[in-house]
Structure 1
């Protein structure tokens, strides 16, 4: 509960008039002072009454690409039986950790049993996560002497994905030959991958009867199309890799996120398995992209340059070397991360195909990584053009 400037002035003046009237025998001043004090007490009682409000929130849609529209709709209902609610409301709408980002919601004279719908657009000009809610309702007395704010309703979250550029070229898959060599698969090949439990719809010709007899339930062979590449995208989210990073963010890092989103979108169209890893540790994806696209893009929306050093990249490359989640690695970094490309080039053994995407303004002298494909681009759109220009992976 907050006493407004008007309320504070009225209280001080009322007490002064009341004291002067009693001290010097002026009943008129005493009456004026008592009236002011009573008005202030009435304001406290009025503001202390808690309005009975029901607040429901909907977001359509809750996941959008940067620049696309998203709308929050609030339905506020006065569930009280007596008295209209004169309210001033503000809905929080900002990024996690950000303060002061609110949207005004007009709720003046909301009668009992009635509701009102209020909609407002969500700012989607920047990639990231936007938290909305709860609704802060401020109640004031008719004279504006006291105000009190309370939270109503739940919260929601909107993921703003990076802009995706259309890319066409997708690298070919890798197949291991019987003599130990690594060959590209020109026309596709179906090879055994693993055994799993039988589910309704599986073909009986894929049942592995010997294993089924041992475990006591039907087991089927699952095959893998080796002509389809298994993509692994490693995004460098170390703050030191982005030379233009400041309090407002990094344009080059945003371009790298656009490049990653473009690769994910291309894999979605081709129904390719893909995984996304951040150098700082978080990862998403695996398996067919249609079941994991939301998790991949959510991770891209949440990614922010984090304080770290070369040790983070050492840990990330060691993890990829041990687990080998795919056959084609695409590493995205900034111009300040060129000095660490030797760590990524060392993955040329576990990953038959390694591509390095460097985003940011071109430098006078840039090292050329050995044994890997270099995709040099200034922004996300330029990266899409460079990617489509690759003739062989």
Structure 2
């Protein structure tokens, strides 16, 4: 049996092996060509530069063209010709005008309400030839800053400065800076991003709270005092043995060296835990400014506790704010917003269940919060805890006891600057 001559197989080139594996050849890996072959990304980008005015112009061009062809109107033919010239020449305005190098920075990425946040922007011509004027835009929060860049000679720099309004607490998005190319009629518009987005944290105004409230001091590991004790966790020194001392505190190595019993002496350590409840129910406040005052009061109390090294928790209806450092606390407070659900009694129920060890419970709310709600908050707080309510509103000076002798004391204030005086009266 003879086997017919087999046709020699073609050499297995890299491109042939790539086709068998379903892998595109190397030339298909270039980004511009891949967009053309795939079709969808390229067409999406092309259609995305047409503005609503441009689509209206194209629709009018089609309508006048059909009217000129079918009805023979001279006016329609003239209008179609004018629209065709305008639409055809609008692409010329999208031709690249240069490669500007743009940089923007925030002199202070974190500011306080009322301070000035300055944005510095610089545009550089990195080429060896002049660059034509350009129009650029920079989104700043809900608004947009529009500015023109003049003709730049080689290595020339154009600098601008913008002042960010900081009247409201929050996180403001700055950037990216985009260069805008558009025709005079507004048919086409192309944007090219030149920088990245940056965030500005506008912190609430805070004051030094002054006096601190410790409530019930718990004999657990915490702040060291000047009182000496024979049993605690903070070692202080050695002393001679006195009948009645716990022999577990005998320091045997020193005893063997000096020949008499020596025991360890300790410093008493106490812990005071502070729980701050920030009521975010908008119905409890008269106006929005009162809510902002409440945020400032709660942050002022929390910063004072963080600075003293006390255990602290700051809770709202939605979450608990991080209190590991003052900076993290202020950054998180920028995102606190009012809510229309759940009152401060629901807030106290959940927060006190998570922190039953609280020594002091301070509720920050508005002056529209009803007294029976405040009395319920006191019943939800730990029995041995000191309870206090700070009500923000139009009333500048007010004090009342809610819930009887075992209830809580409510203080009224109209601005955060009154907090130190109230804390002195409460402590």
TM-score normalised by structure 1 residue count: 0.69
SS at structure 1 position matched to 2:160: strand
1:368 to 394, 402, 406: 402
Q: Structure 2: where are the runs of 5+ without partners?
A: 1-48, 235-265
Q: Measured at CA, do residues 116 and 189 of structure 1 come closer, stay the same or move farther in structure 2, by a change above 3 Å?
A: farther
Query: What is the CA distance between 1:37 and its match in structure 2?
Result: 4.1
The two structures, once aligned, show a CA RMSD in angstroms of: 4.4
For 1:223-372, list aligned pairs within 5 A: 226-227=269-270, 229-242=272-285, 244-245=286-287, 250-286=288-324, 292-310=325-343, 313-314=345-346, 316-324=348-356, 326-338=358-370, 339-349=372-382, 352-362=385-395, 368-369=402-403, 370-372=406-408
For 1:29-108, list aligned pairs within 5 A: 37-38=84-85, 40-47=87-94, 49=96, 52-77=99-124, 84-94=131-141, 99=142, 101-108=143-150
1: CA distance, partners of 2:413 / 2:182? 56
For 1:47-196, list aligned pairs within 5 A: 47=94, 49=96, 52-77=99-124, 84-94=131-141, 99=142, 101-110=143-152, 115-141=157-183, 146-172=188-214, 174-176=216-218, 191-192=232-233
2: CA distance, partners of 1:279 / 1:189? 42
Q: With a CA cutoff of 8 Å and minimum separation of 6, indicate the structure with the bigger relative contact order.
A: 1
Contact 1:189 1:227 in 2 (8 A): no
Structure 1 or 2, whichever has the larger Rg, is 2
2:423 to 364, 368, 387: 387
1: CA distance, partners of 2:98 / 2:357? 56
Contact 1:187 1:227 in 2 (8 A): no
Contact 1:329 1:355 in 2 (8 A): yes
2: CA distance, partners of 1:325 / 1:110? 66
Q: Measured at CA, do residues 367 and 326 of structure 1 come closer, stay the same or move farther in structure 2, by a change above 3 Å?
A: closer
Contact 2:219 2:270 in 1 (8 A): no
Contact 1:275 1:296 in 2 (8 A): no
Query: What is the CA distance between 1:345 and its match in structure 2?
Result: 0.3
1: CA distance, partners of 2:310 / 2:399? 36
Deviations 1:62-115 (A, max 9, x none): 111111122122334456777724322221112xxxx4x112233233467654
1: CA distance, partners of 2:187 / 2:320? 51
2: CA distance, partners of 1:259 / 1:253? 10
Contact 2:224 2:268 in 1 (8 A): no
Q: Measured at CA, do residues 302 and 47 of structure 1 come closer, stay the same or move farther in structure 2, by a change above 3 Å?
A: same
Q: Measured at CA, do residues 118 and 378 of structure 1 come closer, stay the same or move farther in structure 2, by a change above 3 Å?
A: same
Greater displacement, 324-333 / 121-130: 324-333
Q: Measured at CA, do residues 303 and 108 of structure 1 come closer, stay the same or move farther in structure 2, by a change above 3 Å?
A: same
Contact 1:174 1:226 in 2 (8 A): no
TM-score normalised by structure 2 residue count: 0.64
Q: Measured at CA, do residues 187 and 278 of structure 1 come closer, stay the same or move farther in structure 2, by a change above 3 Å?
A: farther
Contact 1:240 1:308 in 2 (8 A): no
Q: Structure 1: where are the runs of 5+ without partners?
A: 179-183, 194-222, 287-291
2: CA distance, partners of 1:224 / 1:160? 43
Query: What is the CA distance between 1:341 and its match in structure 2?
Result: 1.5
Contact 1:259 1:384 in 2 (8 A): no
